[in-house]
Amino acid sequence: MSARFAVFVGTVQLILFLGHLFVYETWRYFSPSSGPAAIAFLRIAFLLLSIIFVAASLLAARYYNAFVRLFYTIASVGLGTLNFLFMAAILCWVLYAGFSLSGLHVEKSVLLSALFGAALLVSLYGIANASWIRVARVNVRLPGLPASWRGRVAALVSDTHLGHVRGYTFISRIVAMVRQLRPDIVFIAGDLYDGTKVEPKHLAAPWMNVSPPLGKFCVTGNHEEFSHPNQYIEALQQCGVRALVNEKVIVDDLQVVGVTYSTLTHPERLQSVLCGAALQPNTASILLAHAPHHLSIAEKMGVSLQLSGHTHRGQVFPFTWITSRIFRQYTYGLNRHGALTVYTSSGAGTWGPPMRVGSRPEIVLIRFE
């Protein structure tokens, strides 16, 4: 383990420990009737809960078996629940202070039960919401669109994060939905895999069950590039999915360019790839890029439509708010950046906690006009 990685792991562990400590101390203060045995149990429970996500993540990076998958899933649910319990704990102190300053009496245990109970209910909702995949339908009008493309439909899938939480059954359901939608072409905008230890060929196999007439295309996201992206690319290509690695293809007169995430994060490299693609200015073009980064470069180089994911639309509150401040209007949905049209998907899967609160998972169906 490198020193930099050790510092990163230590920092994450410290943050998780402090978060659990705050929830525990809030519980202690607002539930003074707890006996010594209950306090000892809670102390041990919160200590164990504070370390299992880091431990599970380290195991998931090296092993892929039933035990590790279950352990990582439990730890991920615990992490998401902590998020809402932490916010509930803050509200406990804020509301209690407000009641006290206004001279109103409130039972601390009642306040604790109400807010912590709400946090648990929100967590359950988040799990259910993350499992309900919707179909988002949008119409896109592009200048210079070849006549043969008018009325055609593309399916956009991104951020399935296949790994220890979402696996073969999940991607089989995604592919079955895509097949039922009967698109003319399929685009996979990166982070199909979570980047943990998996069996890439096994998880890619369901893609053999859908064969759109104009093909299936993908690019790598940041999670595929955590390790060796070629293992994921080879697995997908064996299932008929063509990986676009900084290259352009012509699909029935429509220009389609795909860039890797590492290229996307370097403006000079991105501009060089798009320049080398020699896009024809009078013909519509699509850029498949994992994240809505450096949109001004894509616009400058004449791209008509960029298809991205990555943001998850923040996935869970309050990160939905944080993500919208980082990516602004390009966090989600169909938007314009000058002459460039951009669609950013919220993705179909989840990273970390298998929860969504303030966002929803989706497959996007794009109809060209």
Environment class of 301 (CB within 10 Å of its CB; exposed 0-12, middle 13-18, buried 19+): buried
Grade residue 196 by pLDDT with cuts at 50, 70 and 90.
very high
Q: Mean pLDDT throughout 197-221?
A: 96
Give the residue numbers spanning the domain of 120.
Answer: 3-130
Are 217 and 251 found together in one domain?
Answer: yes
Radius of gyration of the chain (CA): 23
Q: What is the pLDDT of residues 318-343, one digit of tens each?
A: 999 999 999 999 999 999 999 999 99
Q: Which two tokens stand for residue 2?
A: 């490198």
Grade residue 38 by pLDDT with cuts at 50, 70 and 90.
confident
- Residue 104: which H helix or E strand, with range? none
Grade residue 1 by pLDDT with cuts at 50, 70 and 90.
low
Grade residue 2 by pLDDT with cuts at 50, 70 and 90.
confident
Are 59 and 199 found together in one domain?
Answer: no
Are 9 and 158 found together in one domain?
Answer: no
- Closest CA relative to residue 219, chosen from 248, 187, 194: 187
- Residue 254: which H helix or E strand, with range? strand 254-258
pTM: 0.91
* More confident of the two residues 38 and 292: 292
Q: Mean pLDDT throughout 140-155?
A: 96
Mean model confidence pLDDT for the chain: 95
Report how many domains make up the chain.
2
Q: Is residue 155 a contact partner of residue 178, using CB atoms and an 8 Å limit?
A: yes
- Closest CA relative to residue 132, chosen from 366, 364, 355: 355
Instruction: Kindly report the number of other CB atoms within 10 A of residue 339's CB atom.
Output: 12
Of 130, 154, 171, the position where a domain reaches its end is 130
Are 164 and 300 found together in one domain?
Answer: yes
Are 118 and 151 found together in one domain?
Answer: no
- Closest CA relative to residue 314, chosen from 140, 175, 167, 126: 126
Q: CA 306: distance to chain centroid?
A: 18
In angstroms, the first-to-last Cα distance of the chain is 52
Are 287 and 341 found together in one domain?
Answer: yes
Are 22 and 122 found together in one domain?
Answer: yes
Q: How distant, in Å, are the alpha carbons of 140, 218, 228, 260, 359 from that of 207? A: 26, 12, 21, 20, 26
Q: How distant, in Å, are the alpha carbons of 174, 336, 361 from that of 135? A: 11, 22, 9
Are 230 and 198 found together in one domain?
Answer: yes
H-type alpha helices, the chain: 3-30, 36-60, 66-101, 108-131, 168-181, 200-204, 229-237, 261-264, 267-277, 295-300, 319-327
Of 106, 130, 154, the position where a domain reaches its end is 130
Residue 149: give its domain's CATH number. Answer: 3.60.21.10
Are 288 and 331 found together in one domain?
Answer: yes
Grade residue 84 by pLDDT with cuts at 50, 70 and 90.
very high
Q: Is residue 300 a contact partner of residue 293, using CB atoms and an 8 Å limit?
A: no
Are 87 and 156 found together in one domain?
Answer: no
Of 110, 130, 150, the position where a domain reaches its end is 130
Are 275 and 342 found together in one domain?
Answer: yes
Q: Mean pLDDT throughout 180-186?
A: 98
Q: Is 165 helix (H, G, I), strand (E, B) or coil?
A: coil
Q: Which two tokens stand for residue 150?
A: 């008018």
Helix, strand and coil percent figures for the chain, each rounded to 5: 50, 15, 30
Are 123 and 178 found together in one domain?
Answer: no
